[in-house]
Structures are given as structure tokens and as C-alpha cells.
Amino acid sequence: IGIAGNIGVGKTTLTEKLGKRLNLKTYYESVIDNPYLDEFYGDMLRWSFNLQIYFLAHRFKSQKQISESGINAVQDHTIYEDVEIFARPLYEQEYMSEKDYECYSDLFHNMLPVLKKPDVIIYLNASVDTLMGRIQQRGRDFETTIERSYIEYLNGSYERWMKRARNDFKVLEIDANKTDFINGDDDLEWVAQKLEEM
């Protein structure tokens, strides 16, 4: 199971809860120990390529471990989001040069044949207001400079990707404005039931 969604939407919490509920090995996005995040949010033009290569390498390692282990797993953030949601918009917004983007894309597309697709992608969707509130609430230092316009842009990127992704993956979309995976298990049980049906 891959869990996809914007910054602050609740991917990590749902990954942890689903892992326990369904007895799945959990894989998490490398955020706290990422050596480029502080620099990236301070100077996106300078650090976008470095950041995306770091994420791609980390995600590829996790995907490879999942594929080779043969065990059931849930992953916070998918490798497909790296190119569709983050690298492409950085290039479109001119935070990444064409040369760097082509290099990144070439590397990504050469990785794809090695990877097993997730059986299901859970897409957590939330409004910009909800996301900004949650980002502020969790209080990570490196996220304090994230602008509302960037979150809005990423939300649009997710919507465009999801329209295409439904042709390649089974997708369970969840309105994360209405779910609370931190303070109760009712929503978690609903997700578990939907996954079993799928």
C-alpha cells in the first residue's frame, strides 16, 4: 500500500496506524534526517535538484526492499509522487533547470522497470486551509517558511496526477478534511474495510 498526499495531510500517521492494524511493515519518508530540507526551503532554486535526488534515492531503496522482501508493507509517500508532484512542478516553476530536470527524469524512468507497483494507492486529499493548519500545528522548524501558494500549487499537481494515476493503479481516495487518524480508530476501521473490499 502506498500512501500519497500533500505536505501535512496525515500520511505518516496513517502509515503507522495501518501498519499496526493490518500487520504491515512500515516504510517512512526521510524527512527529519534529510540533509537538504532546511536549505531547500531557504533557497529552492539552489537546492531543488539535490533535494529531489536525495528523496528519489531514499524512496528507490525502500521500494527495492519492499519488492525483494516479498512481505506486505505500507509506505508513507510513493516514488511516483517524486517526479509527478515535486520534481515536475519545481521545473515548471523554474526552481529546477531543464538540464537538471532531464537528468532527474531519465534516472527515475530507468528505475521504474525494477519496481513492483503498489497494489493500492491511498490518496489523502485536503484543502489548503486544512494543510496549512496541520503544518503549523506540528511545528517543524524547516516547514515554517512554506508558503500557502506552494501548498496550493502542490494540491493542483496532485489533482492532475490522480486523474492519470487511476488508469495505472487502484486508488482509494479519502477526504482528509473529515478524517482524524490521530484521535480515534473509527476512520481507521473504515479504511481497513475499504482496503479489504478492494
Instruction: DSSP letter for 83, please.
Output: I
CA–CA distance, 175 with 173 (Å, rounded to integer): 7
Contacts of 127 (CB under 8 A, 6+ apart): 177
Which phi and psi (to 5°) does residue 175 adopt?
Answer: -75, 100
Question: Which residue among the candidates 33, 43, 76, 100 is catalytic per the annotation?
Answer: 76
Q: Is 82 a catalytic residue?
A: no
> Given the C-alpha cell 479519502, which residue does it identify?
174
**Cell numbers for 22:** 493490518
Question: Do 31 and 37 touch, CB atoms closer than 8 A?
Answer: yes
How far apart (Å, rounded) are the C-alpha atoms in residues 135 and 8? 5
> What distance in Å separates the CA atoms of residue 161 and residue 173, rounded to the nearest whole number?
13
Residues recognised as catalytic? 76
